[in-house]
Amino acid sequence: MKGFESNVQYIKYLVNKEVAQRFFEGTLDKSINSYREIAEAIIPGPKAVFRCCIYKERHIIEERVRLVLEPSKDDRVINVLSSACDECPIDRFVVTEACRGCLGHKCQEVCPRNAITIVNHRSYIDQALCIECGRCKQACPFNAISEVKRPCIRSCAVGAVQINEEKKAFIDHEKCISCGACVYQCPFGAIVDKPFVLNVLDLIQHSWNNTNYHVYAIVAPAIASQFPEVKTGQVFAAIKELGFYDVIEAAIGGDMVAIAEAKEFAETIDEKGWKTTSCCPAFVDYVRRNHPQFMDHVSTTVSPMIALARSIHDKDKKARVIFIGPCTAKKVEIKQKDLAGAVDYVITFEELMATFDAKGFDLKAFEERDAGAPSYFGRIFGRTGGVSESVLKVADLEGIEKEIKPIHCNGLDECIKNMKLASFGRLNANLLEGMACKNGCTGGSASLTHDQKGIEFLNRYGKTAATQNPYEGMTGYDYTTVNMEREFHMEGK
């Protein structure tokens, strides 16, 4: 079994594996008693492993099991396990020695909870009353109030993670773009993404060996960075062995999207002045929520996942489609009004590995198989810069004379920065490639690994492609018969 980046990732793995294993054995029970049994199997005791006591540990595991067995029916993918939140005992705002004891007392005046008093001519913050609104820091003319952010808050570039009066984290779903950064960064695993492992296993089981309907797996190109100890073709073979009718690289959809994006750019750039890509659902949601006036600059081309899924449905009327990737935002994308019905469920690379191990697979024992023959450019969609490089390639093949000046946003912070520049008319580019995760999909929040080597693995895999021509990468699929456009709904659902 491979290593894990943290105990948080390991616990998530243990829960998914235990549930999947019981499913395969035919012993899975969805009753409350089952929650407790699984928790005790994972945390046998008598000593605690991760928390203060086995009782708290088991309670948290039970909550995680409940999420796997009964995912909430709403479209909110990112949620907080209140019992797991450590309430991080960090005093976020503290008065430093720089306080001059000024007569204005602006910090005291703006505090909505009267948490600030003056002691010996200096301000003092009563942490029991403080709600961490930050108004005192903003008001202080001497910058004498320091701020130390909790990891979950620091990870969220859009301010969706907040703290309630009990000092526990909660998600403001009006701001959340489901990028999963907080899921990855929370050191206590209190913030979780909704899992669909059991839904996928049920779907496969009820296909009756794919005679009732055909269950396809679309696999994100970032898979090449996730199992470095084996060949990617062996991973495809293991996925097929889980019971899928067929396994197809999402990179084929990338080839489709590169062609559609390039043509859309050529047709609309004179009118719009600048465009953004639309492959990353978290980035698109960021624009929708924070810069709605610029939604007409976002490409209306669907993501590779949706493009390929629609193509599969076009070829096979009995198709059901599962997407496997590193992205939590994809779990929201498939539910959006103009895209619903293309993909049934999304599972992550973390969930995939737990399912492999629950099945007892030795990936090294599998014979390689391909999952289509996408181009190099379709595969590099999985890293920062890949989308715009692919669009440039198609523009060259098509003889598009419009100048394409791309800028790559490597992570949400860079997306925010460049969207602000665009809003001021200072964007030094006309094609903004937005990727919410550092390094692109290889650094997705639900990836098994997040280091820089992921890009190297993906580039290496891309170079094994049989062609560098996106048109040739789509062999067997006709994107011209598929609706490659989407209609953005400002309510986002």
pLDDT at 448 over 70: yes
* Cα–Cα–Cα angle for 242, 240, 16, rounded to 5 degrees: 35
Identify whether the C-beta of residue 444 lies closer than 8 Å to the C-beta of residue 361: no
- How high is the mean pLDDT of the chain? 93
Q: What is the pLDDT of residues 385-424, one digit of tens each?
A: 999 999 999 999 999 999 999 999 999 999 999 999 999 9
- pLDDT value, residue 197: 96
Rounded to an integer, the average pLDDT of 293-310 is 97
Q: What's residue 91's pLDDT?
A: 81
In angstroms, the Cα distances linking 306 to 189, 314, 410, 485 are: 30, 12, 23, 10
Task: Please choose, from the candidates 422, 372, 155, the residue with its C-alpha nearest in 3D space to the C-alpha of residue 255.
Answer: 372
Identify the helix (H) or strand (E) that includes residue 453.
helix 453-462
**What's the pLDDT at 492?**
42
User: Is 493 a residue whose pLDDT tops 50?
Assistant: no
Check residue 161 and report its DSSP letter: E
User: Tell me, what's the pLDDT at 89?
Assistant: 66
Q: Which of 30, 15, 4, 19 is nearest to 60 (CA)?
A: 15
Among candidate residues 114, 72, 101, 20, the one with its CA nearest the CA of residue 360: 20
- Pick 490 or 483 by higher pLDDT: 483
If you average pLDDT over residues 2-25, what whole number do you get? 91
Q: Is there a contact between 370 and 240 (Cβ–Cβ < 8 Å)?
A: no
Domains and CATH numbers, the chain: 1-69 (no CATH), 75-88+151-194 (3.30.70.20), 93-147 (3.30.70.20), 198-481 (3.40.950.10)
Query: What digits encode the pLDDT tens for the residues 42-87?
Result: 999 888 777 778 888 899 999 999 989 887 667 789 999 988 887 6
Distance from the first to the final alpha carbon of the chain: 39
Task: Name the band, by pLDDT with cuts 50, 70 and 90, for residue 478.
Answer: confident
pLDDT of residue 490: 62
User: Is the pLDDT score of 447 beyond 90?
Assistant: yes
3-class SS at 218? strand
Q: How far apart are CA 287 and CA 464, in angstroms?
A: 35
DSSP notation for 52-75: S-HHHHHHHHHHHHHHHHS--SSS
Query: 235 is written with which tokens?
Result: 């991973």
* Whole-number pLDDT of residue 221: 97
Residue 121's Cβ-count burial label (10 Å; 0-12, 13-18, 19+) is exposed
Task: Dump pLDDT digits (tens) for 222-241.
Answer: 999 999 999 999 999 999 99
Per-residue pLDDT band for 374 (boundaries 50, 70, 90) equals: very high
Of the pLDDT bands very low, low, confident and very high (cuts 50, 70, 90), residue 465 is: very high
